[in-house]
Amino acid sequence: MITDVENLQAENSSERVRRLFAAMVKVLVKSELDYAMRDGEALDLTRYGCLSDAVASIKKRIEINKQFPDTELRNVLAIQEAAILAGAAPEVSDYARKQILTAREEAFAILNAKRATRRSQQQVRAALRERMAEIRRWGRVHCRFVSSMEKIYLDTLSTLMQLNLPEQVMVQATTELDAMFETAVGSANGVKPPS
């Protein structure tokens, strides 16, 4: 009976120590890698036995996974791999390696998805920049066209006035001139002139 109580106290004590160790690992990883670990990952890392071994394992996995350009993804993968390998006996090492490979495949899929999204966003931005440049070019050309048309209109109107035409002929000439320029400007703007 006394032995059972002592065993129970030892189990409770070791569980508290394990949870304290896990909390310390979480705080350390958050401060060094800016990653909020899940409780399960932190508890898995307690199998290393001491804090320095757990952190060394994570750092080793970060070095191994340096082919990932995304720092956040690399850190997450390193922590997951270190947790998988924590206390892995030789007979489960094959299983651990399969788990690591699965995690890496998922990480590559995430990385590829991020790259595809980034590429797509860059293509959209490039297309928008190109369209804006085209609009600016078209705007400048259109502005020059309208200015030229205005100058031609005013010069023609001035020439008509210098002719000293009878008033009825002048009204008819200016009406025809206005209609002609409305048609020209409307066509240039894509507006169908009135029939």
Q: Are 188 and 145 in contact (CB under 8 A)?
A: yes
The answer to whether the pTM exceeds 0.75 is: no
Tokens representing residue 43 in the block: 């508890």
Angle made by CA atoms 74, 76, 80, in degrees to the nearest 5: 115
Q: Are 107 and 77 in contact (CB under 8 A)?
A: yes
What the block records as the tokens of 61 is 């996995």
Q: What is the pLDDT of residues 114-154, one digit of tens each?
A: 777 777 777 777 777 787 777 778 878 877 887 888 888 88
Please report, for the chain, the start and end positions of each structural domain, with discontinuous segments joined by +.
2-87, 134-188
Give the CA distances from residue 93 to residues 14, 53, 63, 89, 90, in Å, rounded to whole numbers and listed in that order.
26, 18, 20, 6, 5
The answer to whether 29 and 58 have CB atoms below 8 angstroms apart is: yes
Burial 14-33 (b: 16+ CB within 10 A, else e): eeeeeeebbeebbebbeeeb
Q: CA–CA separation, 125 vs 97, rounded Å?
A: 41
- Mean pLDDT in residue range 77-84: 81
For position 188, what pLDDT does the model report? Answer: 62
pLDDT band for 190, please (50, 70, 90 cuts): low
